Amino acid sequence: MTDEQQSNPEARQRTVYQFRIKGHLGQQWINWFEGLTVALEEDGNTLLSGTVVDQSALHGILKKIRDLGMPLLSVNIVASDPAEKTDPDQANGDL
C-alpha cells in the first residue's frame, strides 16, 4: 500500500494573505482577527492582511469571515515568508 500523502516543503511556508470583505468590520470584531492587520477602506470594504502559518489557519480565518455574515470579496496571496525556506541566504533576507 502506498502513502498518497507526501511531504510538500512548499506547504509549510508561511504565506501573507489579503482578505477583502464587503462592509466595514466593527471595532468589536477587530481583536477576533488577532495577528491580522485590519484596514477600513474608503470604498466601504475591509482589508484583512497578515501571515497565515498553514492551511488550517487559513480555513480558520475563512470560517470567522463566514460567521460574521459579511460577503468575502477576494482572497489573495501577497508573498511567501522566505524565513521558512531551507536556503540560508534566503533565510537572512539575501537574494
Q: What is the DSSP string of 23-56?
A: SPPPHHHHGGGTTSEEEE-TTS-EEEEEEE-SHH
Q: What does the pLDDT read at residue 30?
A: 87
Domain ranges of the chain: 13-81
Provide the whole-model pTM: 0.71
Helix, coil or strand: residue 3: coil
Alpha carbon distance 60, 29 (integer Å): 15
Q: Mean of the per-residue pLDDT values for the chain?
A: 81
Alpha carbon distance 49, 78 (integer Å): 9
pLDDT band at 79 (very low <50, low <70, confident <90, very high): confident
Mean pLDDT, range 23-28, rounded to an integer: 91
Mean pLDDT, range 64-77, rounded to an integer: 96
Model confidence at 65: pLDDT above 80? yes
- State the CATH architecture for 13-81: 2-Layer Sandwich (3.30)
